[in-house]
Structure 1
Amino acid sequence: MELRQLEYFVAVTEEASFTKAAARLHVAQPGVSAQIRQLERELGQPLLDRSGRTVRLTEVGAAVLPYARAALAAVEGARLSVDELTGLLRGHVTIGTIDWIRSLELPAMLAAFHRDHPNVEITVTQEDTATLAAGLRAGRIDLAFLSLASEPPEGLRTQVVIEQDVYAAVAPGHELAGRPTITLAALAGHDLVSLPRGTGLRAVLEEACADAGVRPRVAFEAAEPPVLAQLAAHGLGVAILPESAARAYADELRLMPIVRPRLSGRIALAWRAEGPRSPAARALIDRARALPPV
């Protein structure tokens, strides 16, 4: 039994797919299948049920899984202990972000970290908040900048770095264009242009509407605030935007802070509350936590 076989087994279990596990491990899919079949031959029992559209654990596989995870965690812990004692900073870290947040000067922070620790490889990935939070909990991402609603995601620690009001933005000819502010109730019945579910700003909107008994009518969704602004500028609805994104289009749109209740969006640095982190990951988290709040 080899550690590589256990690593492949855990990856296929978590991804419920040989193909996705192979992509995650950066190896060929036939190699993953061959190693797991060899592990099954050594144990004398099938660990995975391959008969359905997704791969599932057999009863034996479910019994073996915690031991496989424990073995991999023990090896990782041993490596971390050696790195701690030798003061060696190397390896690979992954930072996730919902957007390339210019006000935080992420490129400058990453450049300074790379100068101090040139042997650490850094990957930057951009996803929505729900996907990033899942990646943090699974250990695929070391730290991330998330958009938060009322409560931080379970299993994560967070530090708020940006807090700003949420605005409604409309084209100059829209019937709401003359208002200096707008209430949540006044948005009822109007077509909204919003980020999709899984994003923090959408969660802020939906939680506030649920508390106020308002049913939002989201007519258009887009993954980037600039796209929302452009859709609103063409008269397709009321864009729901963070203040910084709204003010970038002040010449094209009429902006109204949402009041009664006041909606506020937060960007937070997040990292896994439990589980081993490499010295490199801890160093990058410490560097990111030192960023001044905006």
Structure 2
Amino acid sequence: MQVLRAVVDHGSVSAAADALGYTPSAVSQQVSTLERETGTALLERIGRGVRPTAAGLLLAGHAAAIDRQVAEAGAALADLRAGRTGCLTVRYFTTAGSALVAPALAVFRREYPGVRLDLGLTDPVDPLIEVRDGRADLAVVFRSEEAPTGVRLVHLQDDPYRAVLPRGHRLAGRRVLDLSELADEPWVGAEPPGPCRSLVEEACDAAGFRPALAVDGADYVTAQGFVAAGLGVSLLPELGLTQRHPGVTVCRVRGPEPVRTLHAAVRESAWGQPVLGALVAALRSVAAPASAMRTV
């Protein structure tokens, strides 16, 4: 059809052949083949030239439309590959959203303002499910085990837990506490059942005790309020202490020190896409100085 369009545009077989870089006989053969396939005459001779029949004009018009669509598709693909357009679906857990994802997206959008972002929280039961199923491009997760098949984990930062005590507590003047020193204290819970709470419980088990929960704060801000009110002590990750309550004191712990390891989870099949790589780089650029400025 593109050969027929060239003949119609140039007014002769020889002129079309020159424009296309074909021989005149090759052009004639392709037009003849198209006439057999369509079962109708597409060109008629007039003197030394040719002119299109009604059917020829119709197909030449469609060929022009196809050319435009191919060009538009090529331009759209180039824009997508260059990051001028497109969409990234990003999932994250709550504390990572405010402390890590938000500033990283600000960095990313300065370079890729045309990329639309679909943001949302990870599934609390299985934070990798949307990445594995192809419904999310990237998820910020915390985990210690190996990546499941088909998922690549890129380390972002370690998020250590800190002891949070009421101001005026007998241990509040210490910079570092042995976790076992909190064994007899009432505790304020800060997390729902799940991997984060399990991490705290496992650390306490390793220190030789199971914390006696006096009140469940359900989230980090509320938990700090309960600690400040003197209802107990707590262990909170550093990312959960970005908004620190004025009525608490924060200390490092050891023996052991619980640590959440934060990763960007990406499907292996999507790894290498420039825009996705730029988002991972932005996350790492934000996480690096945050790790260097840990609370002590």
- TM-score band, normalised by the shorter chain? 0.5 to 0.7
| Counterpart contact for 1:193–1:232, Cα < 8 Å | no
Matched to 1:194, the amino acid is A
* SS in structure 2 at match of 1:208: helix
1:54 equivalent in structure 2 = none
User: 1:232 and 2:230 equivalent?
Assistant: no
Tell me the distance in 1 between the aligned counterparts of 2:191 and 2:176: 21
User: 1:193 and 2:189 equivalent?
Assistant: yes
CA 256–196 in structure 1, closer or farther in 2 if over 3 Å, else same: same
- Deviation at 1:248? 4.3
1:271 equivalent in structure 2 = 266
- Deviation at 1:198? 3.0
Query: For 1:146-185, what per-residue CA distance to the aligned partner results, in whole angstroms no more than 9, with x for missing partners?
Result: 133x325534322222224311112124454344322222
User: 1:154 and 2:148 equivalent?
Assistant: yes
User: 1:183 and 2:178 equivalent?
Assistant: yes
After superposing the two structures, state which structure 1 stretch, 259-268 or 173-182, moved more.
173-182
Equivalences for residues 187-266 of structure 1 within 5 A: 187-189=182-184, 190-199=186-195, 201-222=196-217, 224-246=219-241, 248-249=243-244, 251-266=246-261
| Counterpart contact for 2:224–2:245, Cα < 8 Å | no
- Deviation at 1:86? 4.6
CA 212–174 in structure 1, closer or farther in 2 if over 3 Å, else same: closer
Q: Which TM-score applies when normalising by structure 1?
A: 0.57
Tell me the distance in 1 between the aligned counterparts of 2:154 and 2:270: 18
CA 226–121 in structure 1, closer or farther in 2 if over 3 Å, else same: same
* SS in structure 2 at match of 1:163: strand
Equivalences for residues 120-159 of structure 1 within 5 A: 120-127=115-122, 130-148=125-143, 150-152=144-146, 154-155=148-149, 156-159=151-154
Matched to 1:151, the amino acid is E
Matched to 1:106, the amino acid is A
Equivalences for residues 106-121 of structure 1 within 5 A: 106-112=104-110, 114-115=112-113, 118=114, 120-121=115-116
- Deviation at 1:277? 3.7
**RMSD of aligned residue pairs (Cα, Å):** 3.4
2:6 equivalent in structure 1 = none
Tell me the distance in 2 between the aligned counterparts of 1:140 and 1:290: 21
| Counterpart contact for 2:189–2:223, Cα < 8 Å | yes
% same residue: 25
Tell me the distance in 2 between the aligned counterparts of 1:219 and 1:283: 49
- Deviation at 1:135? 2.4
Which runs of 5 or more structure 1 residues have no equivalent in the other structure? Answer: 1-81
Point out the structure with max Rg over C-alpha: 2
Tell me the distance in 2 between the aligned counterparts of 1:106 and 1:227: 26
Tell me the distance in 2 between the aligned counterparts of 1:233 and 1:211: 27
Query: For 1:174-204, what per-residue CA distance to the aligned partner results, in whole angstroms no more than 9, with x for missing partners?
Result: 45434432222223243232222335x4343
Tell me the distance in 1 between the aligned counterparts of 2:275 and 2:216: 34
* SS in structure 1 at match of 2:256: coil
Query: For 1:237-273, what per-residue CA distance to the aligned partner results, in whole angstroms no more than 9, with x for missing partners?
Result: 2122123543642742121211111232332211234
Which runs of 5 or more structure 2 residues have no equivalent in the other structure? Answer: 1-72, 291-296
| Counterpart contact for 1:132–1:141, Cα < 8 Å | no
May I ask how many residue pairs the two structures share in their alignment?
A: 204
Tell me the distance in 2 between the aligned counterparts of 1:86 and 1:172: 58
